[in-house]
Structure 1
Amino acid sequence: MMAFSLKFCLILAGLCSLVPGHLAEELPDSKDTAHPLSASHRISPYMADFGINLYRTLVSKSNTTNIFFSPLSIFTAFTLLALGAKSTTHDQILQGLGFNLTQISEQEISEGFQQLLHTLNLPGNELQLTTSNGLFIDKKLKIVEKFLEDSKKLYASDTFSANFEDQEAAKKQINDYVEKETQGKIVNLIQDLHPDAVFVLVNCIFFKGKWEKPFDAELTEERPFHVDAKTTVPVQTMRRLGMFQVTYDEDLACWVVTMDYRGNASAYLILPDAGKLEQVEDALSKEQFQKWSRNLDRRAVDLYFPKVSISGSYDLKVLRDMGITDVFEEKADLSGITEQTKLKVSQALHKAVLNIDEKGTEASGATFVEAIPMSIPPVIDFNSPFLIALYETSTRSTIFLGKVVNPSGN
C-alpha cells in the first residue's frame, strides 16, 4: 500500500425549476401501512431529520442570506460513501446522517435507497425528476470490486475512468457530466480539483414541475418584498385567487400553504409573521410538519407569491458540525473503496438552484376555472422571508429545503 494519502472529491448538484400549481392532497405525515414502497418509507424520516439539522447548521453560519439545498442529494451521496468507509469513519457518517443502527439495519438502509432511487427515476411521470450518481476514478487506481458492485446495484451509479494527472481534462469531464445531468442549468460547478485527487463522486438531482392550478401571468406585477426591517426590494409577484390548503399556526405565528405539482410532488410554503422567523426556525422538525399537515384546511385565499431565482453553494465540510469529521482528515478509513492507497475527502461541494416562474403555464392558465365562495377571502402575501420544503410524495422524500430571504438572490 502506498504510504501517502490521495484525495477523494465529493460533488453534489441539484436543480429545482418550478412553475405554478395547486395544493397537496397527500402529505408527508401519511401513516405508513403495508405498501410496496415501504422500504423507501423506512429511510424518509431519517432524511427529514437530517435536512432540518443541516438547515439549522447552515443558518448558524449565516442567518441573513438565502439558503437552498437538496437533503436528498447530500443524504444519498454520503450514504453511498458509507459503503466504502470502515471503522470510526463509517460509524460517524451514518450517525451524522441520523441513522440509529439499533432501529434500522444497514441492509434496510441499502434496500430503502435502492427502492427510492428506482422509484424517483421511473419514466412516464409528469414531473421531470431524475437523480444520478457518477464515480470518476483515476485510471491508475484499483477500486474494490464489492464497492463498485454495491454502488451500481443499490445506487445505480455510473463509473467513469478519468486521467487526474491532466487536471483540466478531468475537471471538464466532471463538469460536463453535471451540466448534462442538470439539463444545462448548472455549469462549471468545479473550479479547481485538488492536485492529488484520484476519485470523485458526483450526485446530481434535477427537478422540474408544473403547478396543477397555475397563476395567471397577466396578474403578475412588481410589488415590494421586505428583506428585513431596513431593506425592501422590488419583485415580480404572481397572484392567484383560489382554493388552497392552508393553516395559520397561532403558537408559532405563521401561515402554512401547501401546493401540488402535476405528478407526485408537493411544496410547503411557510410564511412567518414579522419578527417571528427565528421562532419558526427553532421549532422546525418532522413532527412540526406533520402537525401542520393535520391542521390544513381547504379554503379560499387571495395568494401573492414572488418569482424566485436563487441558488445555494456549500462546502460540505460543514458536516463536521454534525459529527462527520474523520472522512475529511488523514485518519479517514475509506479502505472499502480502495486498498491501494489511503483516501480522504478533500473537497465536498454542493450547489442547488431554485427557479419559480410562469414558464409553461400560459396554455393551461387560459382555460383554468375554479369556483370560490362569495365571502371575502384572506390575503396571504409572501412579501417577506419565508421557508420552502419540497417533497416527493410517493417516497416521502425531502427533495429540497430552504429559506428565501431575497427572491432575486442574495
Structure 2
Amino acid sequence: MVKKMVLGFIFIFMIVAAGCSSKNQVVFSKDDYKKIAPANNQLGFTLLSEIEKDEAGNTFISPTSLFMALSMIYNGTNGETREELAKLLQAEGISDDELNQANASLMSILQKDSKSMEVNIANSIWLNERFHFQEDFSNATFDYYHAATEAMDLTDSRSADKINKWVKEKTKGTIEKMVQKPLKSDLVAILINAIYFKGNWKNEFDPKLTEERPFYLEDGTVKDWPLMTISENMAYTENDSFQAVSLPYGEGEMSMKIFLPKAGSSLAEFESMLSSANWGKWNQEFHHQEGTIWLPKFQLEYEVSLNESLKTLGMTTAFDKGANFTKMIQEDNPVWISQVKQKTFIDVNEEGTEASAATSVEMKTTSAPADGPFYMEINRPFFFVITDDSNTILFMGAMKNPQMESK
C-alpha cells in the first residue's frame, strides 16, 4: 500500500509540503550567495567533462538548476548520503540554514524583469496525495526556495498534462514535456526546478551583416554557417591557450562569455583547464578593447542523464536502496534516487539569447500493488490452497490440467 511506492521527483526549482505552508520569516544577506557561487561553478566545470554529448558533439547544462535541486534534496538527507551530498555541494563547513540562505540569496539576485532582460526561477512540487513530507523539509523548501506544492491523484490522466503545462509556462514554451503520460502508479512526488532566461544584447548584431562563412569541425570537415558580426569596444582577454570575449545583455548585469581555443589546441584541452580557481583568475583578466567578432547563430535542445556522472563525483549511496532520506518523507519507506535528468534549451541570434533549463530527480522506494482494478486470466497451470481464518493451510494443490469428473 502506501509503504511501498516509487518516489519520482523532477527538479526544476521547487519544493513545499502538501497542504501546508510555513510562516517562518527567513533572513538572509544579499551577499550570502558568495558562499556557494564557487561550488556551483565547480559543479558545472566538473560535470562538463563527465556528461554525454549529443549526436553533434554538443553539450549544454545548467549548474545552477542542478545545484539548487540538490540543495533542496540535501534538506531531506541523513547519514552517509548526507555526507556525500555535502561534499559534492562543498557544503561541509556550513549549516543547513546557511546553505538555504545562500540559495535564497542567489535566487533573489538572479531574478530580473525588464524590457531588455528576464530571468525567472520557478519551483513546484507535485506530491502523490498518499504521501507527506517531513515538516522541517517542507518549511525549508518553502521558506527559502519559494516552492509551492500541489497534491495530485496519480490515476487522473490529466495530472501529467497539468505538470507539463506548468513547465511549459515557466520556461515560456521552450521546454514542453518533462513527464510522460500516463504517470506511473508507484510515483510519490515530482519536484520541478525551472530556470528561464531571455536577454537582449547591450549591443545588438546587425542582421544585414550576418553571412554564411566556413565553420571548421573537429574531424577536419568544413560547413558553411551563418555568422553574426559586430565591431565594438568589448571586454576581452587572450593568452597562449585561448581568446575570450564578454558580450553583455541589457545594461550589462549579465553577459555571455565566449572562449575560443587557439589554433593547434582543442576544446577538450580547454575544458581540462576549467576550474573554480582558473575561472576566477580569467575573469579578472578581461579588459575593454576595440575589436571585431564573428559569432555563429545557433539553437540547441539538449537532454542528458546525470546518474553516472554524479556517481563518479562521489554521490553514490543516494542511488542505492540503502540511501538515507529519512528527513524527507513521513512514511516509513526506504527512498533512493533512480534518475537525475536535465533538459536545456538555448537560442542565440542577432537580438540576444533565450535559454532555459529543467532538472529532474526521480526518487523511488519499493514498489506496491496498484489500487485500481486488476486483470487476472487463469489460463495456465496454477497452485492453490484452502485455509482457515488463521491462514492455516487445510488443502493445497497444483492444477496442471483441469478435468470434470463424473460421480
Residue aligning to 2:323: 332
Counterpart of 2:39 in structure 1 is 46
Cα distance in structure 2, aligned partners of 1:81 and 1:213: 40
Contact 1:6 1:344 in 2 (8 A): no
Q: What percent identity do the matched residue pairs reach?
A: 24
Cα RMSD between the aligned structures? 2.6
Is the CA contact 2:51–2:306 (under 8 Å) kept in the aligned structure 1? no
Structure 1 letter corresponding to 2:349: D
Aligned residue among 109, 123, 138 for 1:148 = 138
What is residue 315 of structure 1 aligned with on the other side? Answer: 305
Separation in structure 1 between the aligned mates of residue 80 and residue 324 of structure 2, nearest angstrom: 8
Distance 2:61 2:71 in 1: 17
Q: Distance in 2 between matches of 1:7 and 1:327?
A: 13
Q: CA–CA distance in 2 between the matches of 1:332 and 1:298?
A: 50
Number of residue equivalences? 337
Per the alignment, do residues 354 and 160 of structure 1 end up closer, same or farther by CA in structure 2, a change over 3 Å counting? same
> Counterpart amino acid of 2:125?
L
State yes or no: 1:78 paired with 2:66: no
Does 1:191 find its partner at 2:180?
A: yes
Distance 1:63 1:311 in 2: 11
Where do 5+ consecutive residues of structure 2 fail to align? Answer: 14-27, 359-407
Q: 1:271 to 1:78 in 2, by over 3 A?
A: same
Q: Distance in 2 between matches of 1:282 and 1:347?
A: 27
Partner of 1:9: 9
How far residue 262 of structure 1 moved from its aligned partner, in angstroms, is: 0.8
Q: 1:36 deviation in Å?
A: 5.2
Which residue of 81, 86, 102 corresponds with 1:89?
A: 81
Please show how residues 4-403 of structure 1 align to structure 2 within 5 Å.
4-12=4-12, 37-58=30-51, 65-99=57-91, 101-102=92-93, 104-121=94-111, 123-124=113-114, 126-166=116-156, 168-191=157-180, 193-250=183-240, 252=241, 254-263=242-251, 264-274=253-263, 275-318=265-308, 319-340=310-331, 341-359=333-351
Query: 1:227 and 1:184, CA in 2 relative to 1: closer, same or farther beyond 3 A?
Result: same
Q: Which has the higher helix share?
A: 1
The whole-number CA distance in structure 1 between the counterparts of 2:315 and 2:217 is: 33
Q: Distance in 1 between matches of 2:143 and 2:78?
A: 20
TM-score, normalised by the number of residues in structure 1: 0.76
Which structure exhibits the higher relative contact order, with contacts defined as CA atoms closer than 8 Å and separated by 6 or more residues? 1
Q: Which amino acid aligns with 1:85?
A: T
Return the letter of the residue paired with 2:316: T
1:10 is displaced (CA, Å) by 2.4
> Aligned letter for 2:123?
N
Following superposition, the deviation at residue 3 of structure 1 comes to 5.2
Gaps in structure 1 of 5+ consecutive residues: 14-34, 362-389, 391-398, 401-410
* Change over 3 Å in CA distance of 1:297–1:122 after alignment to 2: closer
**Residue 229 (structure 1) shift:** 3.2
- Aligned letter for 1:53? T
Equivalent residues of 1:6, 1:342 under 8 A apart: no
